[in-house]
Amino acid sequence: MAACDDPLDVHFIGNATVLLRHGDLTLLTDPNFLHRGERAHLGYGLVSRRLTEPALDVAELPPLDAVVLSHLHGDHWDRRARRGLDRSVPVVTTPHAARHLRTWQGYGRAGGLRTWESCTFTRGRSQVRITALPGRHALRPVLSRLLPPVMGSMLEFGPRGGPVALRVYLSGDTLLYDGLDEIARRFPGAELAVLHLGGTRLPGGFVVTMDGVQGAELARRLGYRRVLPVHHDDYSVFRSPLDDFLAEAGRLGLRDRIVHCARGQHARVEPRGRVS
């Protein structure tokens, strides 16, 4: 039986791609392995050039128990991931993305969750329950129809068959809106929030991910013990640098909650929110 105080190893690969290890389980989020100078396809002819190198290539990944995919955009699921990942790996994502992955890309174990639905994975002595959470890539109805549906996720790790020991919130590419407040009511006291930032700006001036100010406000509303900012400097469509978030988080009194984990680095999160 896994001990309730098993730590979580967080390995930040780049953009929104994070390798998570807890006990016997290994999960990957939003696999993006394009190299510097390569272009991610965002749909409707839109592309964005990658400005950074990922810390790992897809071939260097360990065996995975599952992939958690927030939505089907080229900076979250790219051609290198599509070709290099094991097609038998389960992919937990939106119903829209799951249909596409099963039908067109051969990922037969891609499964879609609607908001507040859950699924569970076990390996050896460890267990994780994944719950789909609210997220909106755009707040204007016209723009929402042009962008793929997005989900946030709550990952609840613990011993197999036992209580939840550690919670991790993944925001996905959402903007700040009141519907996110329900997350903290249903899942209070998570150890870590991984926030997708960047203030992604599309042609026409449309912003479709949180900028630094929105991200800091979401961190304040959630009240989670630690916050890891990601998705802020990897692509040319990002307009809000990390410093925007750090400045606003400092103004809100959240500086001590920030996890500073650069590409390629690891952070160790303890069940009670301690980080080393």
The whole model's pTM is what?
0.96
Token reading at 183:
């997350």
pLDDT < 50 positions in the chain:
1-2
Q: What is the pLDDT of residues 162-182, one digit of tens each?
A: 999 999 999 999 999 999 999
**pLDDT of amino acid 1:** 41
In this predicted model, what pLDDT tens digit does every residue of 240-258 receive, in sequence order? 999 999 999 999 999 999 9
Query: What's the pLDDT at 142?
Result: 62
Vertex 47: Cα angle to 154 and 80 (nearest 5): 60
Tell me the average pLDDT of the chain: 94
Phi, psi dihedrals of residue 4, rounded to the nearest 5°: -70, -10
Q: In sequence order, which residues have a C-beta less than 8 Å from that of residue 206 and are 6 or more positions away?
A: 138, 140, 143
Q: What is the pLDDT of residue 2?
A: 46
CB-based contact 78:31 (threshold 8 Å):
yes
- The per-residue pLDDT for 140 is 75
CA distance 127 to 119: 11
